[in-house]
């Protein structure tokens, strides 16, 4: 069993700026995982955006707190805590924090089988 906390050294050492807007950290990734690409947490300040990008794997964005406008290809939708957005492999996607509070999301990614 492996348990990771957001304050663990292994998580804090992975802090990076994700796609121009969010401060992200890898909670679990390919250093440990066998079948799943990664589990990350990202924090997006009001007015900031995870810029449109395409990934080579399927992803799920899960909103823990805050709100935002999620775009996947030509669709856009307001998201709030408890919402999970499925992003197919190869789809362009972005998330704009259009709220007043920090938006915190979990991101789960899985390679194509």
**pLDDT reported for residue 112:** 73
| pLDDT beneath 50, residues of the chain | none
**Residue showing tokens 């938006």:** 103
User: Token pair for residue 7?
Assistant: 């304050």
Helix (H) or strand (E) holding 10: helix 9-12
Single pTM value for the model = 0.93
Question: Please, what CATH class does the domain formed by 9-111 belong to?
Answer: mainly beta
**pLDDT reported for residue 58:** 95
């Amino acid at each position: 069993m492996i348990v990771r906390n957001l304050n663990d050294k292994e998580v804090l050492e992975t802090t990076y700026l994700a796609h121009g807007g969010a401060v992200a950290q890898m909670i679990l990734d390919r250093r440990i995982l066998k079948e799943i690409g990664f589990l990350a947490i990202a924090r997006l300040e009001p007015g900031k955006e995870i810029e449109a990008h395409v990934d080579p794997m399927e992803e799920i964005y899960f909103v823990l707190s805050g709100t935002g406008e999620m775009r996947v290809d030509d669709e856009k939708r307001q998201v709030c805590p408890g919402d999970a957005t499925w992003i197919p492999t190869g789809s362009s996607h972005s998330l704009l924090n259009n709220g007043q509070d920090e938006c915190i999301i979990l991101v789960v990614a899985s390679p194509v089988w």
